[in-house]
Amino acid sequence: MNQPPNSQQEEPGEPERRLQPRPIARPSVDPALAATFGRPRGVDGSFDTLYRPDSSHRNGRSAEAAVPESLTEAFGRPPGADEVILQRPPDDSGGRSAAEGESPLWSSTGDPWRDPGAGAVLGGPAVVADDDDAEDEERTRGPLLSLPEVVFGRRVKPTALALLGVVALLVGAAGGLVGWGLARTGDSLTGELNIAEATAGKERPAGSVADVARRVAPAVVSIEVKSGQSGGVGSGVVIDQQGYVLTNHHVVSQAVRDPQAEITAVFTDGTRSKAQVVGSDPKTDLAVIKVNISNPVVIQVGNSAELAPGDTVIAVGSPFGLENTVTEGIVSALDRPVTAPGENGDPPITYDAIQTDAAINPGNSGGALVDSTGALVGINSMIRTVGGSEGGNIGLGFAIPVDQAIRISEALVRDGHVNHADLGVNAASVAANTSEGAQVQNVLDGGPAARAGIAEGDVITRVGDRQVRNAAELTVAVREHNIGDMVPVRLVRDGRSLTVDVTLGSD
């Protein structure tokens, strides 16, 4: 049998031992708390004795509980009043309802949540507003007052009113003059600036970059080409009084392929002129267009053969469509063979370039490269960049020497096309990034090289007086000569060096 907790089993013969209850700790009660939360006076037991469910009590409330005198006075019935409610709702006639049997609890105007045992009930208003009294009587309008009557309270003569206006204007003008004078003399922080201006803005001696740019810029135009929904922007240089403009082939290549394309030349003064293609040479990236304009500014043509590395050069053009952009640099190298793939099926571009560190960007193409005297020494053509075709300048720009550009432009103006001297071989560099020569890949049957005995596999190392270090340099070395010239060509065959004479043909 389970034993109750905290109990001990009694042994026979031992006296009974029981745990005594602990004394109850009754803390002292705060008198303020006792007065607030204690039993009402005269109540000794619990509160439920006030609400015994006895038939002698009304609605469960003890009849012995006395109603406070203040509530009786505020909400009780007046002396001598026998009605249950203090006020009865009015009837439709505006008078007091005489119905004696209407219950105040369930009447149409009564409060359904009212305690039926309460001594009072809220009724309707004591006085019913009369609808006729609520309507405002229409007021009759009196005569409108004139402006003098409103301002002066009585009628004023027009002459007196005009005189008064003149006096007011004079007083306002006098006050304005006084305020202006006080404002000028009263504030020490404001006043009139007395700036000492220099007689000359800046010294620009002859030969300065600013002087060269001022003389060269009017001869450099911005070229806009539009073909259908596509187009491009480049630059050009006016080289003749008749309106011939020298530029790059890739600037106007869209117009060369599409006769419906439109070419517009924009001059520095904002003059716009339609232009037409005279001729182009995709192999050297040169083209000539003509504009219909009278008395254009023509650039002075220099001599690119007199340049030396370190000479100051200035590039003028429209990079990214920004007209009349001027940048300065030096000649980094001369006779730099460069090559680039042709556009839309055109042959590769190869020429002997002037390398410069003057900032050249897309849009400079076809613009002028001038020396420190302002003479044209090159046509800006391409740049070496990093990160794709939209990359910017990294200090490696290339221009076509003006000696070669003028010679080709003369042929284009004369014939509409140009032919170059050709060896009749296809060659490739012996190895990448080396200067060992150009190795013949194949020989054109019946061509100049075949007639001279040059065979496939030969490595060409010199053409005339110029050393050949790669395939690009072989091309430019051959194009330095005229068609029909006999040129000695040195080559290496099976480790043995030999020289052959080749009569150059035409491409």
Residue 495: C-alpha distances to residues 47, 81, 96, 498 (Å): 130, 146, 141, 10
Determine the Cα angle at 363 with ends 360 and 364, to 5°: 40
Instruction: Please give the Cα distance from 126 to 96 (Å, whole number).
Output: 9
Torsions phi, psi of 162, nearest 5? -65, -40
41 by Cβ neighbours in 10 Å (0-12 / 13-18 / 19+) ranks as: exposed
Q: What is the pLDDT of residue 70?
A: 75
Q: What is the pLDDT of residue 80?
A: 67
The residue type at 403: D
Domains in the chain, please, with CATH? 209-415 (2.40.10.120), 421-506 (2.30.42.10)
C-alpha dihedral sign at 253, 334, 396, 216: negative
- Tell me the DSSP string of 161-181: HHHHHHHHHHHHHHHHHHHHH
pTM (predicted TM-score)? 0.60
Instruction: Please give the Cα distance from 248 to 286 (Å, whole number).
Output: 4
- Tell me the DSSP string of 116-158: TT-S------SSPPPHHHHSPPPPPP-PPPPHHHHHHSS---H
Q: Are strands 349-356 and 368-371 parallel, antiparallel or unpaired?
A: unpaired
Q: What is the pLDDT of residue 345?
A: 76
Angular region, 321: left φ>0, alpha ψ -120 to 50, beta rest = left
Instruction: Please give the Cα distance from 490 to 463 (Å, whole number).
Output: 7
Instruction: Please give the Cα distance from 68 to 57 (Å, whole number).
Output: 18
Report the first-to-last Cα separation within the chain, whole angstroms: 126
Determine the Cα angle at 195 with ends 193 and 198, to 5°: 170
Positions marked active-site: 250, 285, 365
How high does pLDDT run on average in the chain? 79
Residue whose C-alpha is closest to residue 437's, from 454, 423, 458: 458
- HSE-CB of 312 using CA atoms within 13 angstroms: 9
**Long-range pairs for 128-135 at CB < 8 Å and ≥24 separation?**
128/90, 128/94
Question: In order along the chain (507 residues), what is the average pLDDT of each group of 10 residues?
Answer: 48 61 79 78 62 49 63 72 53 47 52 63 59 56 67 69 83 87 66 68 75 91 88 91 92 88 90 92 92 90 91 91 89 90 82 91 90 92 72 81 92 90 88 75 90 90 89 90 91 89 89
Q: Are strands 220-227 and 312-317 parallel, antiparallel or unpaired?
A: unpaired
8 A C-beta contact, residue 367 and residue 379? yes
